[in-house]
């Protein structure tokens, strides 16, 4: 008997957009989390929204590269790689209806959307919010990745906080926040970064201790601005290589989508 996502007796498809800076581990997490969900008896579809990616650690069920070709755009319009990426990302908006129809035909429980490697192509161009809203009217969430190695420096961590807040401002979709690639740092370093996300006083203390001059002032004031908006960025340590933290990530997504109930029945 097939399982289906249900809210208040109505079958529902849940869309999860994997978002983060270049190199933060979006595609690998998409691959690992999809396999983990399938082992949990979830029906999962993967949509690749990155037109410029050369190889992927998974086989997408839907792939924008089937509709937009970077190499063709470079040749036809005499563009470099960056210009072609920008044009390709904008052109994807013209295929949203087709992608939406295909998603409805597949009718899975969960759709994982692997977004472009360059976060600005997805979040900070007009096509990003349009694609996010028009792809489907079903419930959506963002999993925003904080690269653990990058975030180890408090100034970088604050920059990631600010970027995550900016993505939320652009898309206005509930967010789960993942500290990705946590297998690359010692456990005590991971614990320290997670503590920053839990305790603003601890974060302020490390800013005062490790940063100086303008960088200290900017980081502290940016932190104050974010917390004054009552935005919360509790980090979930996750390793896409060891599956660490996937249960915790799934629980947060269940709270977002169903108030803590399972995705499927």
| pLDDT for the residue numbered 260 | 64
Helix axes 81-92, 70-77, angle to 10 degrees: 110
Q: In this model, does residue 81 exceed pLDDT 50?
A: yes
Q: Which residue has the tokens 């979709």?
A: 173
Q: Spell out the domain ranges in the chain.
A: 19-117, 141-255
| pLDDT for the residue numbered 10 | 43
Q: In this model, does residue 3 exceed pLDDT 50?
A: no
- DSSP assignment letter at 55: -
| pLDDT for the residue numbered 264 | 54
Instruction: Summarize pLDDT for 190-225 with one digit per residue, the tens.
Output: 999 999 999 999 999 999 999 999 999 999 999 999
| pLDDT for the residue numbered 263 | 58
Tokens of 247: 């249960």
Which helix (H) or strand (E) segment holds residue 127: the answer is: helix 127-134
Which helix (H) or strand (E) segment holds residue 47: the answer is: strand 44-48
> What is the pTM for the complete model shown?
0.92
User: Do 19-117 and 141-255 have matching folds?
Assistant: yes
Name the CATH superfamily, with its identifier, for domain 141-255: P-loop containing nucleotide triphosphate hydrolases (3.40.50.300)
Query: Please, are residues 19 and 167 in contact by the beta-carbon 8 Å criterion?
Result: yes
What are the beta bridge partners of residue 47? Answer: 62, 113
Name the CATH superfamily, with its identifier, for domain 19-117: P-loop containing nucleotide triphosphate hydrolases (3.40.50.300)
């Amino acid at each position: 008997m097939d399982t289906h996502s249900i809210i208040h007796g109505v079958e529902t498809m849940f869309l999860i957009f994997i978002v983060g800076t270049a190199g933060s581990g979006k595609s690998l997490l998409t691959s690992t989390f999809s396999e983990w969900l399938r082992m949990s008896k979830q029906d999962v579809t993967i949509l690749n929204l990155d037109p410029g990616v050369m190889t992927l650690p998974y086989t997408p069920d839907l792939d924008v590269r089937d509709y937009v070709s970077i190499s063709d755009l470079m040749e036809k319009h005499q563009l470099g790689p960056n210009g072609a990426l920008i044009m390709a990302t904008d052109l994807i908006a013209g295929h949203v209806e087709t992608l939406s129809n295909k998603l409805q035909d597949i009718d899975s429980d969960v759709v994982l959307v692997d977004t472009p490697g360059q976060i600005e192509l997805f979040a900070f161009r007009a096509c990003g919010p349009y694609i996010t809203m028009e792809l489907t009217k079903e419930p959506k969430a963002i999993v925003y990745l904080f690269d653990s190695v990058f975030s180890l420096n408090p100034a970088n961590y604050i920059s990631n906080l600010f970027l995550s807040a900016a993505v939320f401002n652009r898309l206005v979709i509930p967010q789960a926040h993942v500290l990705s690639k946590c297998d690359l740092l010692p456990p005590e370093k991971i614990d320290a970064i997670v503590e920053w996300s839990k305790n603003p006083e601890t974060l302020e203390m490390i800013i005062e201790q490790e940063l100086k001059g303008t960088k200290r002032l900017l980081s502290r004031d940016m932190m104050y601005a974010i917390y004054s908006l009552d935005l919360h960025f509790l980090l979930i340590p996750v390793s896409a290589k060891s599956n660490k933290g996937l249960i915790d990530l799934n629980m947060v997504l269940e709270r977002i989508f169903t108030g803590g109930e399972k995705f499927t029945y």
